[in-house]
Amino acid sequence: MKEVNNLFAIYGAQNFVCPTCSVYSQHKWYEIIEKENKDIYLDKGIRVRGPGYTPFVSSSEEAKRRKTTGFLDNLTALSVCTHCNKPAIWIDEKLVYPKNISVEPPNSDMPEDVKKLYDEAREISVLSPRASAALLRLALEKLLPSLGAQGKRINDMIGDLVKKGLSPTIQ
């Protein structure tokens, strides 16, 4: 079994878990540079208009000017997943799109109203961890009754589930 080294998206890394498709895959990197407004085609037919995208070039002169990440002093970059062919946009070495990068998707048997809250918490987790935690608390509050928990407060409902056989370490 292959060891996964980069679980999260890392600026300049060649392999990591794609923030769009959640597959550990190779990523092709492009610097966003100013060019004429014309259609530019990347690998597999991705078409962009406006700023140009240039793949990593390793000439010895450019290599001297590159940062340790392998890019010029450019603040904006694009990585494209070789599995899903979807782009990720980076500004100042931080991932800005897509946003939900470090949280697993909801379980398929989760109730729909809880899934909506969970997905919303995933989307804002990078922007506001505290707001995300508040949404997850609400999701848990809605999930517990569907698991058979009785009580008015979350602590009471979890305590009820422990009495019914849930591991006390979860409490």
Average pLDDT over residues 137-161: 93
The pLDDT-based confidence of 13 (bands split at 50, 70, 90) is confident
List beta partners, residue 13.
none
The pLDDT-based confidence of 2 (bands split at 50, 70, 90) is very low
- Name the maximum alpha-carbon separation found in the chain: 69
The 3-class secondary structure across 39-80, one letter per residue, is EEECHHHCEEECCEEEECCCCHHHHHHCCCCCCCCCCEEEEE
pLDDT digits (tens, 9 = 90+) for 29-50: 887 765 555 545 454 444 444 4
* Whole-number pLDDT of residue 67: 47
- Whether 71 and 29 have beta carbons less than 8 Å apart is answered as yes
Q: Give whole-number Cα distances, 21 to 14, 46, 87, in Å.
A: 16, 17, 11
**Exposure string for 50-79, b = 16+ CB within 10 A, e = fewer:** eebbeebeeeeeeeeebeeebbbeeebbbb
Phi, psi of 64 (to 5 degrees): -65, -30
pLDDT digits (tens, 9 = 90+) for 42-97: 544 444 444 445 555 444 444 444 544 455 555 678 889 999 999 888 887 788 88
* Cβ neighbours of residue 119 closer than 8 Å, sequence gap 6 or more: 106
Q: Give whole-number Cα distances, 4 to 27, 39, 150, in Å.
A: 14, 36, 41
List beta partners, residue 95.
90
Tell me which residue of 123, 99, 119 sits closest to 108, measured CA to CA. 119
How distant is the alpha carbon of residue 13 from its chain centre? 15
pTM of the model: 0.52
The pLDDT-based confidence of 146 (bands split at 50, 70, 90) is very high
